[in-house]
Structures are given as C-alpha cells and as structure tokens.
Amino acid sequence: MNPGRTPQHCDVLVIGAGAAGLMCALTAGRRGRVVQVIDHANKPGKKILMSGGGRCNFTNTGTSAANFISANPHFCKSALARYTPADFIEMVERHRIAWHEKELGQLFCDISSKLIVRMLLDECQQAAVRIRTDCAVEGIERGADGFRVRTGHGLFHCASLVIASGGLSIPSMGASGFGYEVARQFGHAVLPTRAGLVPLTLSGRHQERLADLSGVALPVEARCNGQAFRNFMLLTHRGVSGPAILQISSYWQPGDDLRLDLLPGHDPLQWLRDMKRERGTSELRTVLAEVMPKRMAQRLCEHWLPDRPVRQLDEPQLKQAAALLADFPLVASGTEGYRTAEVTLGGVDTRQVSSSTLESRQVPGLYFVGEVLDVTGWLGGYNFQWAWASGHAAGQAA
C-alpha cells in the first residue's frame, strides 16, 4: 500500500483483472515487462468464476471472425489468428485441468471455473505480475513519459496503460462503464452499447398466453435480421431464454421482426398432410404433442392453431398451420438488460485501434482489450477466446 504521492512505477499497468487483463498481464510479464494489474472488485476473475454455469466454457474450437459482431468485422481476425483455441488448450493441459467438449466445439472444465482463474493467477505469479484488488481508479493523466493513474492505493506511473475493464453486463460483479469513459477522455469514439446474449421479455398477448409455461423448453430455430440459430428455447415467467434466444438476442432490437421455427428439421406441411392421412381422427394438439412439449402444443391449439381433429383441416388450413409452425412471429418487448446479459454489444470503436497490437491509434501506449471493445462473440466460448486473443496480442506489444 502506498497512500503517498510517490508514484509506483511499472512498465505496464493493466486496469481490470478479468479474462483479457490477466492474459495480457501474464503475456507482458513473460517478456520481462514489469506489470501491475489493478481491479476495483474484491477478487480477480469474477466473471470467469460464474461463467459456463461454474464450469467456464473457456473456448470454442471452431472460433472464426464469423462468430463475432462488430461494426468492423475484420478487426478481430489478426489477434484470433495469433492466439488460437489450441494455444489456450495447451495452457489448460499444462496445468492439468480436465476438460470436455459439450457440443459444437464448446470446451468446458470438468470440475470448476475456479481452476481457470487459478491457472491465470499462477501464470501471472510466474511472470512476476503484481495484482491489487479493491483498488479504484480516481483519474488518469498522460505526460511525456507515460501515464499517471491515481487510485485509492496511491499513484501509479506506467509507460503502457491497458484498459481491460470489460463491458456493462452484470454490474453486481464489478462491471462498469469505466473503459468507455477512459476511451472518450483520450478522444476515442464509443459505439452505442446494449445488452447481448440476454433473455427477451414478452408483453401483451404473448406474455399472457405463454407466462404460465415457464420452465418449458423446446428446440426452435430463432431468426432475426438475416441470422438464424437452431437450439433450445426456454419459456420464462417474463419471456423467453435458452441458447437459441440468447444467440438471436444479440441481433435483435426493439421493433425487429423475430421468427421461430417451432419444428426445426421438419417440413411442417408434409408432416401435417401425413398426420391427416395416417392419424386423421387424432386432435391436432395430440399429434403436435409428439413433436414438442405437450403444454406448448396445447397452448398453440388454444390460441393460434385450429383445436380440432386433423382430418377436419382442409388444405388451406393445413398450409396456414404449417406456416405458423415454421415461422411463428414472436413479439418481444425488450430484453432483461445488463442485469442478466452475458455480454455488452458495441463499445470502443475498433477503427481507432490497431488490430495487431490493440494499441490506440490516437494515443501511443494506450491499449484496449477484451469486451470493452466493439467485438462481441456468440454464445459458446467465443467471448473468452476473444479475451485471451486480444489480451495476448496487447501483452506482446505493451
């Protein structure tokens, strides 16, 4: 602790002891740089700890630029190419952390995300990185010889300053708009931010008709603005969640047309015709309950589909029912916001940042890494891969 005015010197000061900040720190430390990390939270890596349901979906083996949303879609390519999922897996295995692939290239710890935080802290320790928690930043100034950062733990002086303070999601975990304020202070544009990978809320008739189905899950293909995700949807008290909805939420904004294929993988018209021929006396709700949860089938037939034996449906009615099943218009009213969002869309405009070093093009020595930048991954380990890759790229340069 140094409450006085004598600055504590380091080569690299990293603000934010999250995924990107720790990776940046250990990479710079390995190069022999004197690295200090500070964080206002009471412990490092809080989001890593809560990630992946406590097992941290730490990467995705299929990561490519196509899995990220950014106003500048090519920006992430350079860092992702220079620090790949295989590089992170190598570190995980070196620390003897057991992992498994869940689905679609998503890698999780077998035991606990605590092991990933432990691994990063051990690597930091080996690289002589110093970490201070409970350390709030009060102000940043830039002089001819670097940056002066005033904190509750005294003044720090550094040649390179890395902003790794993340986005706005889950404020209770230490998320803040700090990185955006620093960016603006140094003349960087910040693109509008909004919650991503977030449950959607329903209102009006859809809310009334579906709220009591809370807990029901079914496979869907969610479509919006030219994107489609096939996975599970979960009905909640307030709306819809589950991986298909979280994914599409990053492409949805209020007023946008959101559609659900409620029978993904089926040709609903052909299926309805087959049912009429083979099971004509059965109620539509009964045959539907064989391809989706019974309560959902019932609810659809109470409000949206004919509640009759299938043989009573003529061809136009079959076509109408098939169209609704394949292209159900879901009227979402909003999102659950940053309180539950996994990520923040938008952020520091990447057009003023070098894609190879993550250094500001406006202010030499200033770096931005991880989620604070306008680079947001899909659900499935992509966001951590971006944090590792961008942190690594800056750590090699800072």
Ligand X SMILES: Cc1cc2nc3c(=O)[nH]c(=O)nc-3n(C[C@H](O)[C@H](O)[C@H](O)COP(=O)(O)OP(=O)(O)OC[C@H]3O[C@@H](n4cnc5c(N)ncnc54)[C@H](O)[C@@H]3O)c2cc1C
Residues that bind ligand X (CB under 6 A): 15-21, 39-41, 46-47, 50-52, 56-57, 136-137, 164-166, 169-170, 174-176, 178, 342-343, 370-371, 381-384, 387
* Residue (39 or 261) nearer to ligand X, CB: 39
State the nearest-atom distance from the C-beta of 48 to ligand X, in Å: 6
State the nearest-atom distance from the C-beta of 220 to ligand X, in Å: 22
Transcribe 365-396 into DSSP letters: TEEE-GGGBS-EEPTTTHHHHHHHHHHHHHHH
| Sequence-separated (6 or more) residues with CB below 8 Å from residue 184 | 190
Cα separation, 29 vs 25, in Å, equals 6
State the nearest-atom distance from the C-beta of 279 to ligand X, in Å: 43
The answer to whether the CB of 14 falls within 8 A of the CB of 38 is yes
Alpha helices in 111-176 (DSSP H): 114-126
* Residue (33 or 40) nearer to ligand X, CB: 40
Q: What is the DSSP letter of 350?
A: G
* Residue (238 or 273) nearer to ligand X, CB: 238
State the nearest-atom distance from the C-beta of 189 to ligand X, in Å: 19
State the nearest-atom distance from the C-beta of 23 to ligand X, in Å: 8
State the nearest-atom distance from the C-beta of 19 to ligand X, in Å: 4
* Residue (147 or 260) nearer to ligand X, CB: 147
* Residue (248 or 369) nearer to ligand X, CB: 369
Q: Angle at Cα 85 formed by Cα 383 and Cα 122, nearest 5°?
A: 85
* Residue (174 or 268) nearer to ligand X, CB: 174
Cα separation, 41 vs 48, in Å, equals 13
Q: Which residue of this chain has its Cβ atom nearest to ligand X in the complex?
A: 18
Give which of 386, 346, 352 is closest to 369, Cα–Cα.
Answer: 386
